[in-house]
Amino acid sequence: MHLTAKDMVIDHHGIVTDCPARHGPGRARVRGIVGRNLAYCSVSKTRSRNSYCTRTRIAAVAATVVSALLLFHFLGPANSPSDSKAVMAGNGPKIVSGHVYDSLLNPVPGADVTVMIKYDSTVRKTLTTSTDLSGFYTVTFGSASDWNEGETIQVDVTYDSLSATNSTIANLNPSQIVDVHFTEVIPEFGGLLVIVVLILPLLVAFVHRYRGKTRP
């Protein structure tokens, strides 16, 4: 950009300190160093202070908005304590089924089964049933309001004076399997097997010893 010397304000060091631009916004200014030929000199156009401040403020506001959007995207809204576990309400009936075994994996028929949907220490819904001849049980929570995803499915089983329990976390599948194992051997179903397992080695050893004595 070329301007005449009379358009410029020049200090005693030969520095152009101020000069209105001939074209563009009236608040723009140019600065530069005066050459030997004062009739014309080349100076570089600079932005006005007001324009620079405006652009700086816009950039700062844009950076703040972008940062807030990124934080919301990655962190999301804070979960309240009441819904930290129950992520989503159930979308239909929930079938809970499984087998009950003793410690030798023998099925336990006729055991009393209690299935609970629990949220922390609160029981939302309870259903009871008993195992069939194969040790199998099944219950159905018929309403979506009976359970939520992320809540606990707890199965408690009793047989005579023995008890066992197992649990899992409810998901959105329409059915879930929860098997329960007693830590004891139930005599009605596993006692005979235990006796056979203990006696069989003794019986085999006796037979071998007897055959050794009877040989000529």
Q: What is the pLDDT of residues 129-147, one digit of tens each?
A: 999 999 999 999 988 889 9
More confidently predicted of 113 and 196: 113
User: According to the model, what pLDDT value does residue 206 have?
Assistant: 59
pLDDT > 70 fraction of the chain, expressed in percent and rounded: 52
pLDDT class of 99 with cuts at 50, 70, 90: very high
CA–CA separation, 185 and 118 (whole Å): 29
For residue 164, is it within any domain? Answer: yes
Residue 92 sits in the same domain as residue 180:
yes
User: According to the model, what pLDDT value does residue 215 have?
Assistant: 58
Whether residue 150 has pLDDT greater than 60: yes
Assign residue 141 a region (left: φ > 0; alpha: ψ between -120 and 50; beta: otherwise). Answer: beta
Nearest to 16 by CA among 39, 34, 37: 34
Domain count, the chain: 2
Residue 172 sits in the same domain as residue 100:
yes
Q: What's the domain range around 56?
A: 2-75
For residue 61, is it within any domain? Answer: yes
Residue length, the chain?
Answer: 216
Q: Which of 38-52, 54-68, 184-198 has the lowest mean pLDDT?
A: 38-52
H/E segment holding residue 159: strand 152-159
Residue 31 sits in the same domain as residue 120:
no
Whether residue 75 has pLDDT greater than 50: yes
Nearest to 117 by CA among 168, 59, 63, 83: 168
Residue 70 sits in the same domain as residue 95:
no
More confidently predicted of 117 and 69: 117
pLDDT class of 27 with cuts at 50, 70, 90: very low
CB 44 within 8 A of CB 28: no
Q: What is the pTM of this model?
A: 0.50
For residue 212, is it within any domain? Answer: no
Residue 113 sits in the same domain as residue 170:
yes
As a dihedral over the C-alpha atoms of residue 68, residue 72, residue 77, residue 78, rounded to 10 degrees, the angle is -80
For residue 118, is it within any domain? Answer: yes
Residue 146 in tokens:
């009976």
pLDDT class of 201 with cuts at 50, 70, 90: low
Whether residue 29 has pLDDT greater than 80: no
Residue 66 sits in the same domain as residue 156:
no
